[in-house]
Chains A and B, each alone.
Chain A
């Protein structure tokens, strides 16, 4: 009957949503931003979107968190601790990070920039972790540089809830739960594929998304 199949559809949707929520709760995002307002905002955006979040206030702290600082750098860093928000239970900076599923970083930061961080990550054992770069400035050459440097996505600040939806597909790609994802929400040619090397020519397709001035 008509009514029954509608109810079935609703239950099915609910189930799918619940599954998605469950998937998300396993995802841990490392957010890097020197602005405390933007960190607070990011933390809230990500938490509302059901991700676990750890925020740090600099690229150096991010490298420390990821265990990518060399001996000299970690000496300097030891005096300060990993700051601010974290929804995961690992507050101690000495504890080994078990997993990071996504790194979101501001572009302009004192010390090492988001781009520098991106390059360091992509040279490291964390190279398969998607990195998203954020910036308040809409500079096409900057966007291209980051995407070509291996960033999965470039978000313009202020980051919104709608931007969070873009993250999920990037995260799913890296866990290889789905080989290809056809996202019916996207009517553009956002390219979904397995985690691949930054030189992947697929990345060129993103340039079509760049704003034209």
Chain B
């Protein structure tokens, strides 16, 4: 009985992540690639994403902190990679903020970049928290 309840909670949580726009169709593509022989594929990909995103965030922070010269091309390049990764796992909100950041880079708008970067970090952290809860729930439910 307990397991059923947990399974329902996990399913509900998953649905909410889609409904609230945290995840898009690409996440389902990942789920479709998971099977009994590869039961943790989605979680593995998500973990990779968080390793990558920590690195991207760090590099952008370094580039933004450089008070003498701001290389918008470099910022755009890092964010392009970050955006690619978020797109590959279906992280819709994160992807959107990455796109916004790139727009500010193209416009050479440093303040805009800094502001949006806060959003990127926030969305990244929020999704990470939610996905961790989700995977934990799924583990408990199985």
A residues with a Cβ closer than 8 A to B are 35-38, 40-41, 44-45, 48, 108, 136, 157-158, 160-161
Contacts and interface: CB of A to CB of B under 8 A. Distances in A.
Interface of B: 26, 29-30, 32-33, 38, 41, 44-45, 48-49, 52, 80-81, 83-85, 87-89
A35 B38 CA distance: 21
Of A35, A157, A158, chain B has the most CB atoms within 10 Å of the CB of A158
Contact of B26 (A35, A108, A158): A158
A160 B90 CA distance: 12
A41 B45 contact: yes
A44 B38 contact: yes
A54 to B, nearest CB: 19
Contacts of B41: 44
B88 A41 contact: yes
B33 A136 contact: no
B48 A40 contact: yes
Contacts of B88: 35, 37-38, 41, 157-158
Contacts of B26: 158
15 contacts: A35-B52, A35-B81, A35-B84, A40-B48, A41-B33, A41-B45, A41-B88, A44-B41, A45-B33, A108-B80, A136-B84, A157-B87, A157-B88, A158-B26, A158-B29
Nearest to A48: B33
A37 B29 contact: no
Contact of B89 (A37, A44, A48, A108): A37
A62 B140 CA distance: 42
A160 B26 CA distance: 8
Of A40, A41, A161, chain B has the most CB atoms within 10 Å of the CB of A41
A84 B30 CA distance: 19
Nearest to B38: A44
Given A44-B38, A44-B41, A108-B80, A37 B85 contact: yes
Contacts of B30: 41
Contacts of B85: 35, 37-38
A45 B30 CA distance: 9
Nearest to B84: A136
A37 B32 contact: no
Contacts of A160: 29
B38 A37 contact: no
B32 A161 contact: yes
B101 to A, nearest CB: 15
Of B29, B84, B85, B87, chain A has the most CB atoms within 10 Å of the CB of B84
A148 to B, nearest CB: 24
Contacts of A158: 26, 29, 87-88
A136 B87 contact: yes
Nearest to B41: A44
B84 A161 contact: no
Of B32, B81, B87, B88, chain A has the most CB atoms within 10 Å of the CB of B88
Contact of A161 (B33, B49, B80, B87): B33
